Amino acid sequence: MPRGPLSVQLYSIRDAIAEDLPGSLARIREIGLEGVEPYGFVERATDYRAALDAAGLVAPSAHAPVLKMDDPRRAFDAAKEIGVDFLIDPSTDPQRWTSASGVSELAQQVNETAALAAEAGLTFGYHNHWWELENAVGPVPALEAFAAQLDPAVILEVDTYWVEVGGASAVDVLAHLGERVRFIHVKDGPRTRETEAQLPAGQGSMDIPAVLNAAPGAVRVLEFDAYRGDVFEGLAESMAYVLATDERAEQAGSAD
């Protein structure tokens, strides 16, 4: 499956966006990134569309709390306006993942929402945190039990860092979920909930090369939940590491 351009979750630069959306996206493009994953765009889709066009960026995916909305069509319309194809719900109540019945009810809601999204020309997906891995349904992490109940049209965006914070192996989870995973969040650090300890890819305890190798067709989405340094510089370092790692893997594959 062909992989789209390297992207960045714009939550990473939320403070800069609050001050200057067009300028922030221009800096992302100057770094060399071509794709972004917006959040918080539903109420200002027109502003995002103009800023994306001015910066020369594409937004193949975006986050919106669709599952909490009384009328998800607002999110669908905004996503279409900014050129999104994959609309992803970023988070649900952790309590919904503590029982088999809760996971099944959530999967049903996601399937129903995906059908509505498809009518609007969108593909719907879900993004995990740590609690979907911390909890289990029988012998498997709750995220995997959830995935087994999803309609084939639903995609997953696996946050590989939170998978490991939740106590699972990102490589194993990616292998189990297979091609349903269309996007992965790539970040590094000490694998704790202390978000300000996160580091550029390749500088923490995550095995980033193994993670990338486990999802060769998934779009790589860089992210910092928080970062103590200059976040644009941190993203540039992550971008360079991920691109170099993927290039080495592709060269090794060609040699074989």
Domain boundaries, the chain: 7-182+203-219
8-64 pLDDT, tens digit each: 999 999 999 999 999 999 999 999 999 999 999 999 999 999 999 999 999 999 999
The verdict on pTM exceeding 0.95 is yes
- Please report which confidence band the pLDDT of residue 256 belongs to, taking 50, 70 and 90 as the band edges: low
101-139 pLDDT, tens digit each: 999 999 999 999 999 999 999 999 999 999 999 999 999
> CA dihedral in degrees (133, 115, 43, 159; nearest 10)?
20
If you average pLDDT over residues 225-232, what whole number do you get? 98
Calpha distance 180→34 (Å, rounded): 23
The yes/no answer on whether domain 7-182+203-219 falls in CATH 3.40.30.10 is no
Secondary structure class of 216 (helix, strand, coil): coil
